[in-house]
Structure 1
Amino acid sequence: NGGTTVKVNTVDHGTFQNQINSYLQGTPEDAFTWFSGHRMRFFAKKGLAQPIDDVWNDVKGNFTEGFAASVKGDDGHVYAVPTSYYPWAIFYRKDVFAAGNYKIPTNWDDFKALCVQMKKDNLTPIAFADKDGWPAMGTFDILNLRMNGYDFHVGLCGGQQKWTDPKVANVFKKWAEITPYYSPAFAGLTWQEAAQQLLHKKAGMFLLGLFVSEQFVASGNPDDLAQLDFFPFPDLGTSYDAEKALDAPIDVYMLAKKSPTLGSDTGQAKAFLEFMSKGSSQITYWKASPGAIPTANDADQSQYPALTKKAAQIVSNAKRITQFFDRDSRPDFSGPNSMQGFLLKYLSNPKGDTGTLQGQMQSFWDALPPE
């Protein structure tokens, strides 16, 4: 920006996540890339991130309300600039819907009726896979958001709401209405295997992130990707439908408060964040990584394929954006021994009473050490 040379320190994804806490407390670079949601707010609360309200005031006109809400700390200050995202939605093949004369469902009853019809037509209505533990969290997120609203969901993820709340029981009851339509033996399937069911016309629909398209690209047949489409999760008939909330994990850039050079570099570091807020900068990155969509309003969408254009539209319509459970909650509540395991237990008997399970979830949360 203005002739400044930016030195980049690239670390692989897993190592970066595991070491970022100690990295930020040591001698970090001025700026770092991270996730929005709880994980951003966590470092803000710990005093490891620099507030950037002045930068945000200059660039906020280039972002939607949903993106703006996603970069605020608990103290009301802004700590990040959002740079890319990908939405979760219900994916399907256009040719399968055309052959079955299926209509896009916009409400819950129509969605369930479509599942019934697909089952009659010998399709698995909903591809589902949970071998890796995290995919089921996407369904919990969207049901909780649409039934109980953004504020309750974020509060539940952060421990301000209780897992024993009847509102959570209602989410599990609603979820049980569609579990009979899932892929058989889903607990042993990876998301890639479930995506293959959609690709090969064995399943009708799949709730997942835009990255499901990778499997369609990998088939080697350009028509497969051309047939892939999606629709937003259907309305549930609650007052929260209007929020049009969805999971769209957002990657952000932040400033490291303990950087030994930030004092002398503050102007340049903030200029770098402003540079990363521009659509032209984000498009350059998108060309190298097309699964992640630019956040800036002025990004040149004429270069996007149809699927990406539609994904950008669905997110711009969202009044509230969540980051996916494992980014919105504590890492030690999001793993195989906690939320992932609890949801697998629920899915093994979705019609059963969830009171005991909810009690176990709350007890697990209560036993966690202070963050």
Structure 2
Amino acid sequence: MSRPRTEAEYLARLVPPSVAGIGRRSLLAGAGAGALLGTGLLAGCGSDSDSGSDSKTVSIGSNQSDPKPKEVIAKVMAGFQTASGIEPKVNTVDHNTFQENINNYLQGKPDDVFMWFAGYRMRFFAAKGLAGDLSDVWGKLSGYSDAFKKASTGDDGKQYFVPSSYYPWAVFYRKSVWQQRGYQVPKTLDDLNALGAQMKKDGLTPIAFADKDGWPAMGTFDILNLRINGYQFHVDLMAGKEAWTSDKVKKVFDAWNGLLPLHQADSLGRTWQEAAQSLQQKKSGMYLLGLFVAQQFSNEEQDDLDFFTFPEVDSTIGAKALDAPIDGYMMARKPKSEANAKKLLEYVGSKAAADITVKNDPSTLVANGGADTSGYTALQKKAAELVGSATEIAQFLDRDTRPDFASTVIIPALQQFIKNPKDIDGLLNSIENQKKSIFTS
């Protein structure tokens, strides 16, 4: 449930200085989906276990190298082998190996199935013809909300992704603090502002906030954009199809500017963990972050932790869309055995696979709503209900747009806004000009 490095940072590490001058879109298009998680890198590391076309095997490219996720994936794959008789061959590589072997990696062939992310990353590969159509697999899946299916759908209306796990963003608070003060969950932005003003009077910092690492502020921008302009505008803006200089985007920054006085000061020098400590120590009243914030609280304190979805700004848009980054699986354009690959994808999207994940890693929220989640904590159960009721699920800014745009333009722009929120027009003109350059490269 930990929040990984931003997708921008992750992909940046795939590109060594020797090829840093190549346009990111060109690099990815030339590499192919499999070049990011395929057998080429492993071949470069001395593994050729996937050579040949054994009809009883299927290869999986995995970037889950940490012990617990790796262990859970192994158990899921063991379940698949028992159910299907097909042997899954998992090729696990860590981020450093990705970077160190990038040239061999790009020259290799993709695994049949590879782990990736929903949203723009998935749609980009699908639009380039670098991923296999999984619409027929989706015809056999059950337990997924329409929002999960939408997050797995390419620009052409076909599905290219099978979700496995996720974590939602929401506004977290300590129940004991709110009960003591008599605070009520805000339903509108005006309510939120009024609550923040009361918290200030009560000696609390209304909203814990940190942006030293660059990505947390993206969550604030995302939720305001979703609430003010709706999901489709947000997706189109991230894809470079809408202008950052539009009145719609200005309205987002105007609303954010109004909230800044409620935020913890000096955020650019603070990590998200340090901001979480402010909430943990009952010095702040609220904190907008992902569910991974719970890691900063003891088991006893987690019982005192609760959350609400960010309130509505426009009643015609409501408050049903949210950021809930989704991890899952995709299929190579031309797997060695498409039938085996699709059998695996049908399995990893099943209740059986989700049950194995929940049983072995209770900190994970599984995407399949049919899974046995009786082992979930109260916080996890509520998080699952929140995402299950969402009408749309965004993937977080650095997953919903190009990684180079997120890292080189948006991170410094949002930090500049936090330092000086007065020149919104100048800031948005700068973003738009850089966007045009990057998205046409």
Q: TM-score range by the shorter chain?
A: over 0.9
Where 2:85 maps in the other structure, the secondary structure is: coil
Tell me which residue corresponds to 2:161: 80
**Change in CA separation of 1:207 and 1:192 when aligned onto 2, cut-off 3 Å:** same
The reply to whether residue 363 of structure 1 matches residue 433 of structure 2 is yes
Where 1:303 maps in the other structure, the secondary structure is: coil
Q: After the TM superposition, which segments of 4 or more aligned residues of structure 1 sit over 4 Å from their partners?
A: 13-25
Aligned residue among 361, 364, 375 for 1:303? 375
Q: TM-score, normalised by structure 1?
A: 0.92
After superposition, the C-alpha distances for 1:72-103 in whole angstroms (9 at most, x for unaligned) are 11122110111111000000011111111111
Aligned partner letter, 2:234: H
**Change in CA separation of 1:216 and 1:301 when aligned onto 2, cut-off 3 Å:** same
Aligned residue among 296, 315, 328 for 1:238? 315
Where 1:176 maps in the other structure, the secondary structure is: helix
Contact persistence 2:228–2:317 (CA under 8 A): yes
1:87-98 → structure 2 map (5 Å cutoff): 87-98=168-179
Contact persistence 1:197–1:203 (CA under 8 A): yes
Aligned partner letter, 2:318: D
Aligned partner letter, 1:140: F
Aligned partner letter, 1:206: Y
Contact persistence 2:352–2:371 (CA under 8 A): yes
Q: CA deviation at 1:15?
A: 5.4
Tell me which residue corresponds to 1:319: 391
Q: CA deviation at 1:13?
A: 4.8
Aligned residue among 245, 266, 271 for 1:185? 266
Higher mean C-alpha displacement, 7-16 vs 184-193: 7-16
Query: What is the distance in 2 between the residues matched to 1:164 and 1:18?
Result: 39
Aligned partner letter, 1:344: Q
Q: TM-score, normalised by structure 2?
A: 0.78
Tell me which residue corresponds to 2:108: 26
Q: CA deviation at 1:285?
A: 2.1
Tell me which residue corresponds to 2:418: 347
Query: What is the distance in 2 between the residues matched to 1:24 and 1:144?
Result: 36
**Change in CA separation of 1:225 and 1:13 when aligned onto 2, cut-off 3 Å:** farther
Where 2:277 maps in the other structure, the secondary structure is: helix
**Change in CA separation of 1:291 and 1:324 when aligned onto 2, cut-off 3 Å:** farther
Aligned partner letter, 2:419: S
Where 1:126 maps in the other structure, the secondary structure is: strand
Q: CA deviation at 1:181?
A: 1.2
Tell me which residue corresponds to 1:255: 331
The reply to whether residue 9 of structure 1 matches residue 91 of structure 2 is yes
Q: CA deviation at 1:24?
A: 6.9
**Change in CA separation of 1:338 and 1:320 when aligned onto 2, cut-off 3 Å:** same
Q: CA deviation at 1:23?
A: 4.5
Tell me which residue corresponds to 2:400: 328
Contact persistence 2:362–2:375 (CA under 8 A): no
Contact persistence 1:40–1:73 (CA under 8 A): yes
Aligned residue among 290, 294, 297 for 1:209? 290
Higher mean C-alpha displacement, 207-216 vs 13-22: 13-22
The reply to whether residue 43 of structure 1 matches residue 125 of structure 2 is yes
Percent of matched pairs sharing the same residue: 50
Contact persistence 2:359–2:375 (CA under 8 A): no
**CA RMSD for the aligned pairs?**
1.9
Q: CA deviation at 1:237?
A: 2.9
Aligned partner letter, 2:203: N
**Change in CA separation of 1:22 and 1:31 when aligned onto 2, cut-off 3 Å:** farther
Contact persistence 2:358–2:372 (CA under 8 A): no
Where 2:285 maps in the other structure, the secondary structure is: strand
Contact persistence 2:240–2:439 (CA under 8 A): no
Higher mean C-alpha displacement, 141-150 vs 4-13: 4-13
The reply to whether residue 278 of structure 1 matches residue 350 of structure 2 is yes
Where 2:87 maps in the other structure, the secondary structure is: coil
Q: CA deviation at 1:3?
A: 2.2
Aligned partner letter, 2:314: G
Where 2:347 maps in the other structure, the secondary structure is: helix
Structure 1: segments with no counterpart, 5+ residues:
none
**Change in CA separation of 1:24 and 1:290 when aligned onto 2, cut-off 3 Å:** farther
The reply to whether residue 268 of structure 1 matches residue 340 of structure 2 is yes
Higher RCO, Cα 8 Å, sep 6+? 1
After superposition, the C-alpha distances for 1:188-231 in whole angstroms (9 at most, x for unaligned) are 000000011111111110000000011114xxxx3211111111
Tell me which residue corresponds to 2:206: 125
**Change in CA separation of 1:99 and 1:369 when aligned onto 2, cut-off 3 Å:** closer
**Change in CA separation of 1:199 and 1:21 when aligned onto 2, cut-off 3 Å:** farther
Aligned partner letter, 1:49: A
Query: What is the distance in 2 between the residues matched to 1:87 and 1:269?
Result: 29
Where 2:223 maps in the other structure, the secondary structure is: helix
**Change in CA separation of 1:189 and 1:40 when aligned onto 2, cut-off 3 Å:** same
Query: What is the distance in 2 between the residues matched to 1:237 and 1:73?
Result: 28
Query: What is the distance in 1 between the residues matched to 2:191 and 2:104?
Result: 50
Contact persistence 1:135–1:191 (CA under 8 A): yes
Q: CA deviation at 1:20?
A: 8.5
Q: CA deviation at 1:290?
A: 3.6
